[in-house]
Chains A and B, each alone.
Chain A
Amino acid sequence: ILNVEQSPQSLHVQEGDSTNFTCSFPSSNFYALHWYRWETAKSPEALFVMTLNGDEKKKGRISATLNTKEGYSYLYIKGSQPEDSATYLCALSTGTASKLTFGTGTRLQVTL
């Protein structure tokens, strides 16, 4: 079983704060790294798919970076808003199958 780790497990920030969290994964057999946002009572929603070392992706105030050599990805949220409150999941694809291995998630709570 692959070990995909996310830290911190939970995070509580004030509106307007910028924040970031980490996804660590084994760098061998890497194929792609996915980020999802999962809001309460909704389906997990895809944010980014990254495949190349050094990749950077951006969607509004959210961005992500990827380092496949050392096996980590960062997700950044600039100027957090209450609607950013969700669990953020990263998932690893190794390329040997279509299945994804998920991390434990980072639960973000943004308060006014």
Chain B
Amino acid sequence: DVKVTQSSRYLVKRTGEKVFLECVQDMDHENMFWYRQDPGLGLRLIYFSYDVKMKEKGDIPEGYSVSREKKERFSLILESASTNQTSMYLCASSSPGQGNGYTFGSGTRLTVV
């Protein structure tokens, strides 16, 4: 059963901490994505990657960075967590080609206190 695995389902961190959210896929997909989901705002794209060591900013990259050292792993980094980064974070992957759908992870609900 193919899957996208996010390392934590729930996470509580303190303001100012450096936070790593990990995502691993086993489908050999080139594309990987990080979104956050907030009530009334839908899924908003933070960063994405088309290949190893490649990254591109999405619509709301401020306060985040990413790392893709291996094809199967895409990490989202909050350099200094703030309360406005409390959210549900979703990772997804897809194969190349416009119009291909995503396979999603089950999400990480991050609370920054």
Query: Are A and B genuine complex partners?
Result: yes
B102 touches A104 (CB 8 A): no
Residues of A contacting B: mostly: loop
A64 to chain B, nearest CB (A): 14
Q: Which of B82-113 contact A (CB under 8 A)?
A: 90, 94, 96-107
- Which A residues are CB-close (under 8 A) to B31? 98-99
Q: Which residue of B is nearest A42, CB measured?
A: B106
Known: A89-B43, A98-B50. A51 touches B104 (CB 8 A): no
Report the bound CA distance from A49 to B100 in whole Å.
8
Number of interface residues, chain A, beta carbon within 8 A? 31
Report the bound CA distance from A58 to B10 in whole Å.
35
B5 to chain A, nearest CB (A): 10
A69 to chain B, nearest CB (A): 18
A to B contact number (C-beta, < 8 Å):
65
Report the bound CA distance from A35 to B100 in whole Å.
12
Among A4, A51, A101, the one with the most B-chain Cβ atoms within 10 Å of its Cβ is A101
B98 touches A102 (CB 8 A): no
Report the bound CA distance from A107 to B58 in whole Å.
25
A43 CB within 8 Å of chain B? yes
A94 to chain B, nearest CB (A): 8
- The list of the 7 closest CB pairs from A to B, nearest first, reads A32-B99, A104-B42, A102-B43, A43-B104, A95-B98, A44-B104, A43-B106
- Contact surface of A with B, Cβ cutoff 8 Å: 1, 4, 6, 9, 31-32, 34, 36, 41-46, 49, 51, 89, 91, 93-105
